[in-house]
Amino acid sequence: MKLVLKPRKTPIQGRSRVTVDAILQSAAEILKEMDYAKFNTNLVAERAGISIGSLYQYFPNKDALIVALHKKHTQHIRDLLRTVLDRQNAQTLRQKIESLVDGVIAAHSFEPELHKLLEKKLPFFDINRVEDETGIRQEIFRLVELHQDEIIEKDKPLIVWMILQLLESLIHAAVLEPPTNVKPQAVRNAIIQSIYSYLTNTPDRL
């Protein structure tokens, strides 16, 4: 039987959205407290203060809950990226890279314990990653479009993929497993430099 990982319905009314938010918050809290094997929808419904029938109106099983948490986290990053890339004080390519890095660091620093759980302990539930990541790709693609004359590499899909990989690998490590005896600002500056150097083939430092 095919495992259902999508919500049964999308909340539209305000009350429904509040209910779904309460369900996801309760699921996040419980996941922090226990192993996946012990995690179940009955516990989530009880924590959220609703009946199990009400929970099943939105989520058919516990796996759909975890996928929804992934989607919510990705949407948070997407919205934050759109905000920082639109800042008026970020005019140059380097300034926009700084905003991009700062935005992703801030997004990944939001509830880092839950983020680490989803990304490290439950990576096999990242099923909708490609679909969810599209928004983030679009935001980075906008940056590349605006500054294409300054960027050495001309293969845009490759550029977007490289920026995504650099952001994900370096910032995940910086937030979830920060290096000892290294200041966060120094790590942040090094990440910015690595992306800027890749795009422009410029070895200068901050």
CA-nearest of 107, 83, 93 to 174 is 107
At 49 the pLDDT is 95
- pLDDT at residue 90 greater than cutoff 70: no
Residues recorded for the chain: 206
3-class secondary structure, 4: coil
More confident residue, 177 or 126: 177
Q: Does domain 69-200 have CATH number 1.10.357.10?
A: yes
What percent of the chain is modeled with pLDDT above 90?
Answer: 36
Place of tokens 């509830």: 111
User: Taking the complete model, does pTM exceed 0.85, yes or no?
Assistant: no
CA-nearest of 85, 84, 89 to 145 is 85
How many Å apart are CA 140 and CA 50, to the nearest integer? Answer: 40
Place of tokens 């989607």: 71
- pLDDT at residue 136 greater than cutoff 90: no
pLDDT tens-digit map of 160-188: 999 989 988 898 888 878 888 999 999 99
Helix, strand, coil percent values for the chain (each to nearest 5): 70, 0, 30
At 150 the pLDDT is 93
pLDDT tens-digit map of 3-49: 444 555 555 556 788 999 999 999 988 988 888 888 999 999 999 99
Give the least confident one: 65-69, 91-95, 120-124, 196-200.
Answer: 120-124
CATH class of the structural domain 1-60: mainly alpha
Give the least confident one: 3-12, 58-67, 195-204.
Answer: 3-12
- pLDDT at residue 106 greater than cutoff 70: yes
Do 85 and 79 contact (CB within 8 A), yes or no? no
Q: How far is CA 140 from CA 47, 143, 175, in A?
A: 38, 5, 21
At 100 the pLDDT is 84
* Domain limits, the chain: 1-60, 69-200
